[in-house]
Amino acid sequence: MRVIKQTSEMARTAGALRRAHQTIGLVPTMGALHDGHLSLIRAAAKQTRVVVVSLFVNPLQFGPGEDYDGYPRDLKQDLNLAKAAGTDIVFAPHVSQIYPADFSTSVQVDGLSDILEGQARPGHFRGVATVVMKLFQIVQPMVAYVGQKDYQQALIIQRMVKDLGIPTAIRLLPTVREPDGLAMSSRNRYLNPEERRQATVITRALREAADGIRAGEHNPKTVADALRHLMTREPLVRIDYVALVNARTLAPLPRLTGRVAILTAAWVGTTRLIDNILVDV
Ligand code: AMP
């Protein structure tokens, strides 16, 4: 496995691979790798010839007062995990490689970026779209692998790729969970044992909501109320939002039909977690 830190070297390498007709698969991450990331790397290793994993904590997608400085960073462990999962190249640039001092361009996907996570975290998805666009330019992947865990982010990347005619296919893979259901996240390591225990209510509530819908409850307000009620039974859990929306457009649904996305964000102590589940009605 090769580790590349310079943007110019990564771009040169990707160019040579493409000229040699080697398919490149990219797994963009912020590091602190866990099984969720590794499932994406393994899928890439099955489907593409050269797997590139980017490790980059993107300052542009963190708001003021968010956890950019404290975000977990562990390059040595990430390199070991990435290698074992089948990575060929790790691209781990310094911030100045991606954002030189005179950097002044951004990518904004209107609409989808302004609701839910975007409303809670202004500027977040502009940061995400900008860095993903830049990574796609540098790495030139034929396929990029993203997780359902960040469902809205995946839709925004798909939108961007379609709107701008980027020749990269986006593969969306299922959320990998801990045995008790909690969605794996680099931020889970912020939780103390009691918070970690209470955090499992998020998945339980989503699953109960999905079961309720499958059992015939098609009123979104009824389902959302039950979900909120269950989540607030844990005293350290504070709901940011609960939404039942069209899974393709994220538009609110007056009645639950078609493919429904149930999305939630909640604080558990001082840690903000997101999760979602899809239901076909
Ligand atoms: P992050 O490092 O949090 O920016 O995530 C990098 C990629 O891994 C994104 O496409 C995420 O959606 C994906 N990812 C994060 N957590 C999980 C998970 N538990 N299951 C599947 N994919 C995940």
Task: Give the residue whose CA is nearest to atom 17 of ligand 1.
Answer: 36
- Given the residues 37, 94, 124, 229, select the one marked as catalytic: 37
How much of the chain, in percent, has pLDDT values that exceed 70? 100
Ligand 1 centroid to Cα of residue 36, in Å, is 6
Contacts of 97 (CB under 8 A, 6+ apart): 5, 6, 7
* End-to-end CA, the chain: 45
Ligand 1 centroid to Cα of residue 88, in Å, is 19
Distance of CA 54 to the CA centre of its chain: 13
pLDDT per residue as tens digits for the range 2-30? 999 999 999 999 999 999 999 999 999 99
Indicate the Cα dihedral angle 76, 78, 80, 85, nearest 10°.
-170
Ligand 1 mutation target, pool 26, 27, 29, most atoms within 8 A of CB: 29
- Which pLDDT does position 234 carry in this prediction? 98
pLDDT per residue as tens digits for the range 159-210? 999 999 999 999 999 999 999 999 999 999 999 999 999 999 999 999 999 9
Ligand 1 in reach of 176 Cβ (< 6 A): yes
Average pLDDT over residues 61-86: 98
Stated pTM of the model: 0.98
Check if 218 is active-site: no
